[in-house]
Structure 1
């Protein structure tokens, strides 16, 4: 049985989530309900909490301001939010769990099952704390995502986006090629990272490839469309993405010159 709290300023959201958990997630025991971050801090100080269902947009303090207390408690956070494009991108980049409102029952069950597995396997330690810390950093400067968390089997590897040379699709997996020549394989499709990474710097050049324009050395038409990266790798560019790449290169060159 996992002890959980619900943190949300909206009464309907609190009561509906409570009902969904009671009816569909028998492994969850609701230890308390808070309508503000201040009330949530009080609950965390008085109880041992395993899971926090945390709303983001709340008056006064938003949900992210509870993060320091969450780190101390080692609870597993599942963010609940109406759509905020940047916040959602930051949450995804740090491989943290979220539920979009209105909450879907199947997605709720999946999130609870995932939390239960992570807690039982004691995977909520240092790597998750680093992900929460990095989320706070990303959200303090909403210009762009600076680091992403990549699941590695034992936890997460926190990677600076400047260290990503390119990402290669391998069926339902994504292989990250890093500047230090390390490769990290992640069980997520390429599209998820296309949506997370800064679009002015990373470009999809093929159904199986995303490149970091920082590492682009040459764009050639000689042997079909292809790019040469600074690490010596050559990667094909699909014909339908060629014009998009050319436009991104022009934009990125202008962006860099304006820094």
Structure 2
């Protein structure tokens, strides 16, 4: 099958491409796109048989990309980190999705399902999906977090990691955005983010697993994040952390 990967995060594109090349010999990756408009051009230029599509992307999200496609006739596997509304919409339309970080076995299952053509995106399925979204999908999953200046609106997908600073938490954001200091303890922030792809690796650090670049062995070990930051892993949390990343 000819496939196109669409994801605005480079490390997510790279990981998915690596998994496909390693475990899915029947798939040929025709294009890897970092945004909706580029993907739309690739789809129109060479219609794929399978589309791996990120749900949340700036400018044009995955659903808006599909809405812009004229007469789509390909299978779609959505990739998403935490968007519960998106998952409900995808299930409603009998399509498939992969939760980030993507598990190899889940990828193989989804690809096998796509090969059976049961997930072919017909006009009816697309209409069902878009109708459901228009009725139920909320605009993002922005969190309103209290800071010393007021409320800061933050998308979890923009948070690389969180650091405890006493009774406060510093959020390190991607793309060089100013790290806000949130008037909540790290434990309180963890309660909000733990089901959105985050893991507490240390009493002072909560990381977004989607931004983890590599793990360096040690007593507890260290994690290198995609922005180059070095995050320690505590000995107490190492075993649980290793069990979690084995699924990546």
Give CA-to-partner distance per residue, 1:80-126, whole Å, 9 cap, x none. Answer: 0011111111111211110000001001001111111117xxx737x
Choose the corresponding residue for 2:127, options 133, 137, 141.
Answer: 133
Q: Is the 8 A contact 2:5 2:51 kept in 1?
A: yes
Match of 2:12 in 1: 13
Answer yes or no: is 1:115 the counterpart of 2:111: no
Distance in 2 between the 1:99 and 1:30 partners?
18
Give the secondary-structure state (helix, strand or coil) at the position aligned to 1:66. helix
Match of 2:31 in 1: 32
Q: Is the 8 A contact 2:72 2:123 kept in 1?
A: no
Unaligned runs of 5+ in 1: 145-259
Distance in 1 between the 2:103 and 2:84 partners?
19
Give CA-to-partner distance per residue, 1:109-157, whole Å, 9 cap, x none. Answer: 01111111117xxx737xx33122111111112179xxxxxxxxxxxxx
Distance in 1 between the 2:88 and 2:132 partners?
10
Kindly tell me the number of residue pairs found equivalent between the two proteins: 138
Distance in 2 between the 1:18 and 1:141 partners?
33
Give CA-to-partner distance per residue, 1:42-77, whole Å, 9 cap, x none. Answer: 101111310000001001111101113446230111
Distance in 1 between the 2:15 and 2:120 partners?
27
Higher relative contact order (CA 8 A, sep 6+): 2
CA RMSD of aligned residues (A): 1.9
Match of 2:54 in 1: 55
TM-score for both structures, normalised by structure 1: 0.50
Rg larger for: 1
Match of 1:87 in 2: 86
Which aligned runs of 4 or more in structure 1 are off by greater than 6 angstroms? none
Distance in 2 between the 1:85 and 1:71 partners?
27
Distance in 2 between the 1:73 and 1:88 partners?
20
Give the secondary-structure state (helix, strand or coil) at the position aligned to 1:99. strand
Give the secondary-structure state (helix, strand or coil) at the position aligned to 1:49. coil
TM-score for both structures, normalised by structure 2: 0.53
Match of 1:165 in 2: none
